[in-house]
Amino acid sequence: MDLWVTFIGTAASVPTAGRGTAATLVVRGGSRVLIDCGEGTQRQFLRSGLGLVDLDAILLTHLHGDHYLGLPGLLKTYALRGRTEPLPLIGPPGLASLLGALSGVIGRLPFALEVGEVGPGTVLVLDGARWDAFATRHSIRSLGYVLVEDARPGMFDVAAARALGVTPGPLFGRLQHGETITGIPSMFGRALTGPYGSVGWLTGYESLAQMEKANDAQAADPTMLKLIDSTQGCFVEDVGATQTTLYRKLA
């Protein structure tokens, strides 16, 4: 999924001829999130060539004027354009009373402003990703935001699985659903595979019970690698040295 970050305003607290005050646009796939909305943000949108972006959410880092004074104009323009989509507006405590103070300037809006006063933690889930807030140091209460994408399991490597002796069919599906597969004779005596994300594991054990027993013994004594006589076809190898991945990471 594409991820674009556009620096809409990069001046500090005072704009310059070429720069606006704080505003950063993050576009991920079809979702558009603005972090801070300094004075003149809507003009900076136009100057950026993106046009007046219909935002899915606005996150404010803190309530100093250079981070929110662009809000009344932007919201007013959305109103004039007939926006009806609700707009989440998220920031630290004090945001609701700030909007109360600005209500006479902003006036009536034809869309809902979903105001959220937040602290550290997940503050927004959008399009399969979440936005987490974390505390930052400033002269007043302030937040930073991090975009966290869901883990992706990657692509199942059919050729690698076949080479390891897994027959196509239900076993492929079980591996792809994160299950641990045991009892494959060609794996006996070999290490585990499939270390990425929610991918399943292919083990050199004949059963889950054997594997658990071996894991318990190894946990109790990390130096004990060989747990069961290899003539029975089951033993623990140094996984880090010999493991093979069944998955290719997506770019």
Cα–Cα distance between 211 and 8 in angstroms, integer? 55
Which residue stretch of 48-56, 62-70, 98-106, 215-223 sits at the interface with Zn ion (rule: CB under 5 A)? Answer: 62-70
- Residue 35 in contact with Zn ion, rule: CB under 5 A: no
Specify the residue, 28 or 64, whose C-beta has the smaller distance to Zn ion: 64
Residue with the closest Cβ to Zn ion? 64
Cβ at position 36, least distance to Zn ion in Å: 10
Cβ at position 11, least distance to Zn ion in Å: 13
Cβ at position 140, least distance to Zn ion in Å: 7
Q: Which of 2, 36, 54, 66 is catalytic?
A: 66
Integer-rounded Cα radius of gyration of the chain: 27
* Active site annotation includes 132: no
Cα–Cα distance between 138 and 155 in angstroms, integer? 43
Which residue stretch of 59-67, 78-86, 174-182, 215-223 sits at the interface with Zn ion (rule: CB under 5 A)? Answer: 59-67
- Residue 32 in contact with Zn ion, rule: CB under 5 A: no
- Residue 28 in contact with Zn ion, rule: CB under 5 A: no
Specify the residue, 68 or 78, whose C-beta has the smaller distance to Zn ion: 68
Cβ at position 141, least distance to Zn ion in Å: 10
- Residue 39 in contact with Zn ion, rule: CB under 5 A: no
Specify the residue, 56 or 66, whose C-beta has the smaller distance to Zn ion: 66
Q: What is the largest CA-CA distance in the chain?
A: 83
Pseudo-torsion of CA 217, 219, 223, 228, nearest 10°? 30
Residue 217 in tokens: 């013994």
Pseudo-torsion of CA 42, 43, 49, 51, nearest 10°? 40
- Residue 143 in contact with Zn ion, rule: CB under 5 A: no
Cβ at position 59, least distance to Zn ion in Å: 15
- Distance of alpha carbon 206 from its chain centroid, rounded? 37
Residue 37 in tokens: 């909305």
- Residue 64 in contact with Zn ion, rule: CB under 5 A: yes
Question: Which region holds residue 181: left if phi is over 0, alpha if psi is between -120 and 50, else beta?
Answer: beta
Cα–Cα distance between 151 and 137 in angstroms, integer? 30
Beta bridge partners of 148: 130
Specify the residue, 64 or 190, whose C-beta has the smaller distance to Zn ion: 64
Cα–Cα distance between 38 and 9 in angstroms, integer? 7
Q: Catalog residues that contact Zn ion under the rule CB under 5 A.
A: 64
**What residues are labeled active site?**
66
